[in-house]
């Protein structure tokens, strides 16, 4: 029996010719290698994940390509990249293997004896604010579990769909129906400058803000930032002197210059404890930020995944309880010079328990 099935790859409809296969002639273990290659984008690392040497993993990849009739992964600028057929197969293969694990896996998860690795996709600002507390909890309750932070891929939605990560942290808009979301907390934007900044003795007005040289952090590379959208609505623009991909790099550059950086308040307080930075109110109305975690339906009722998600919720609740002080109190603790900063508003962050 032969029939056609359609799938979509990079927006293009692909017709896949399907026919019945004698599974006794197929090495289904090769699908585990494919899953590991999708995650690791490295033959060596995928082999290590499965307990295979590099030569053995390379030979298995050759058999996998023969079995599926496609190269599946090819060398690219940043490691192995999926071919169109590889992309089309990534999600179905991940679901197939997860379903198989669900059939034979125990229904009870014991973190104290659990082993393995949990992969989270997150950009640096959420890694810095959330994941430090999570790894502490891993060490306390699940010492044999390890945590891996995946290389971000845009907003990470596609990464989750393809099984490249177990969980993603970020700010998400519309999501596919196969993904679940839970908001973590509410945050606002503030500004940081070096304490001795020569132009801010009288505080930070909107007029002064747009004349300063800005460091901008480009996260997903898609669309304008919330700050630039808000300024545009007022007929204003700012001078972005430098764009960087990471908030930590931006903060370090600001600490040694007369530039200014706008960033989430929780991260700003954390960085101000470690770098010579003064915090200032953003003199502009911008909608609050709502960081969330997302995961695929295939993991929704997985006991291990549920445990990790609850740990993240508990981490956020813990630092929300500690976040009732004002931004001024944090800034003032850094240096007497920081008292020249404009008064800052109290952060109203909370743990969102909807989910």
Split the chain (355 residues) into runs of 10 and give each run's mean pLDDT. Answer: 45 49 80 92 91 93 94 90 94 88 77 92 88 92 92 84 91 91 94 91 91 89 80 95 93 96 94 95 93 94 94 87 47 38 31 30
Q: Write out the two tokens for 160.
A: 């989750």
pLDDT of 278 reads 95
pLDDT of 221 reads 57
3-state SS assignment for residue 144: coil
- Tallying the residues shown for the chain, one arrives at 355
Contact (CB, 8 A) for 167 and 118: yes
| Sign of the CA dihedral with 267 first, then 174, 153, and 146 last | positive
Continuous segment of H or E residues that includes residue 61: helix 54-68
Tell me the whole-structure pTM to 2 decimals. Answer: 0.64
Contact (CB, 8 A) for 294 and 160: yes
pLDDT of 223 reads 59
pLDDT of 105 reads 66
Strand partners, 161: none
- As a whole number of angstroms, the distance between CA 246 and CA 147 comes to 20
Strand partners, 29: none
- As a whole number of angstroms, the distance between CA 275 and CA 187 comes to 21
Contact (CB, 8 A) for 172 and 155: yes
């Amino acid at each position: 029996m032969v029939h056609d099935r359609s799938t979509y790859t990079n927006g293009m409809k692909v017709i896949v010719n399907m026919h019945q296969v004698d599974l006794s002639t197929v090495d289904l273990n090769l699908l585990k290698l494919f899953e590991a290659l999708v995650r690791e984008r490295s033959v060596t690392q995928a082999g290590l994940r499965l307990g295979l040497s590099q030569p053995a993993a390379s030979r298995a990849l050759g058999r996998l390509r023969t079995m599926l009739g496609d190269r599946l992964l090819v060398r690219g600028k940043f490691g192995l990249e999926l071919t169109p057929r590889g992309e089309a197969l990534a999600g179905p293969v991940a679901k197939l293997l997860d379903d198989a694990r669900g059939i034979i896996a125990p229904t009870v998860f014991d973190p104290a004896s659990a082993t393995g690795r949990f992969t989270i996709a997150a950009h640096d600002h959420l890694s810095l604010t959330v994941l430090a507390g999570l790894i502490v909890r891993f060490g306390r309750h699940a010492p044999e579990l390890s945590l891996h932070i995946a290389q971000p891929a845009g907003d990470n939605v596609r990464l989750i769909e393809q099984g490249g990560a177990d969980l993603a942290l970020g700010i998400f808009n519309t999501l596919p129906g196969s993904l679940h979301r839970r908001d973590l907390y509410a945050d606002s934007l503030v500004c940081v400058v070096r304490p001795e900044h020569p132009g801010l003795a009288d505080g930070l007005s909107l007029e002064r803000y747009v004349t300063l040289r800005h460091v901008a952090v480009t996260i997903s590379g898609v669309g304008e930032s919330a700050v630039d959208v808000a300024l545009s609505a007022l007929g204003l623009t700012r001078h972005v002197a430098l764009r960087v991909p990471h908030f930590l790099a931006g903060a370090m550059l600001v600490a040694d210059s007369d530039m200014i950086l706008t960033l989430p308040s929780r991260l700003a307080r954390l960085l101000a404890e470690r770098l010579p930075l003064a915090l200032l109110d953003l003199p502009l109305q911008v909608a609050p930020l709502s960081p969330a975690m997302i995961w695929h339906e295939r993991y929704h009722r997985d006991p291990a995944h549920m445990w990790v998600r609850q740990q993240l919720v508990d981490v956020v609740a813990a630092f929300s309880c500690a976040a009732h002080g004002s931004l001024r109190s944090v800034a003032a603790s850094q240096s007497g010079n920081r008292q020249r900063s404009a008064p800052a508003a109290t952060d109203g962050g909370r743990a969102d328990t909807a989910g």
